[in-house]
Amino acid sequence: MPSTSFPSSLRAPVLVLSLLSALVLAGCGSSSRRVSYEPEEFDSTTTHTRNYAATEAQTCEAARRALLSQGYMVTAANADLVTGRKSFQPAAEVHVEVEFRVVCAREGGKSGKQSTVAFATALQDRYGIKKVNNSASVGVGAFGSLSLPFAGSDDAMVKVASETLTDERFYDRFFTLVDRFLEGGGADAPPDMPAEAPQVPQTPPAPATSFPVVPSPNRG
């Protein structure tokens, strides 16, 4: 088979076209490779949810007490929502914060009994220390152009990661604690409202004071 040869004037354009074709094919090959993320299968409804035979207010009150018992600082609490935050220090230059959120929704049952489904989600934020170097110089006029450099650093906490916790054992322990507070009967009253209004004693009215009538003196 005779070999095909190109004139010297056409060799450069042909070489450029060959390189472009190779780049296009490489791009098509790389675009077909997708980054693999953890898939959302939506095949389980028990990790973040539990059903309780109680009202919405009772369930959220039990969730509030469960978070308080574990050192969480409650940031919001009402009849259908509770949020709390807790800080951790796993290393010297690592700070972790967990924000817990519980939503209580009424569950419609055919038996007519009170039922509530609790949705729990915990978000973990991780912070790291970022060092910023600063330098300054001081000029001393009495000694001419004498400059003394001073170096320093400012440390700042920056968020380096954020992740929703998905460990089933973590949520199982929380829901078990909520169930314990519901069984104890201490979550009957809704948040921020006492179980019974205190009775204020009424002060009896003071008796009426009578003054003697003094007859006026006769004149003339």
Q: Give the pLDDT of residue 197.
A: 40
CATH of domain 46-184: 3.30.530
56-69 and 168-184 helices cross at what angle (nearest 10)? Answer: 110
Whole-number pLDDT of residue 157: 84
Q: What's the CA gap between 220 and 203, in Å, rounded?
A: 51
Q: How far apart are CA 22 and CA 179, in angstroms?
A: 64
Supply the pLDDT for residue 220.
46
- In the chain, where the domains are located: 46-184
Residue 82 pLDDT? 98
At residue 62, the pLDDT reads 97
Q: Which of 59, 58, 62, 64 is nearest to 77 (CA)?
A: 64
Give me the pLDDT at residue 97, please: 96
Query: What's the residue count for the chain?
Result: 220
Report the pLDDT value the prediction gives residue 36, as an integer from 0 to 100: 54
pLDDT at 30: 47
Contact between 125 and 110 under an 8 Å Cβ cutoff? The reply is: no
Which residues does the chain have with pLDDT short of 50? 30-32, 146, 190-201, 209-214, 220
**What is the pLDDT at residue 110?**
62
Residue 40's pLDDT is: 74
pLDDT at 14: 56
- Strand 81-91 and strand 49-52: the pairing is unpaired
pTM above 0.85, yes or no: no
pLDDT of residue 132: 72
Average pLDDT, the chain: 75
pLDDT score for 191: 44
C-alpha separations of 13 from 5, 7, 26, 113, 120 in Å: 14, 11, 20, 81, 64
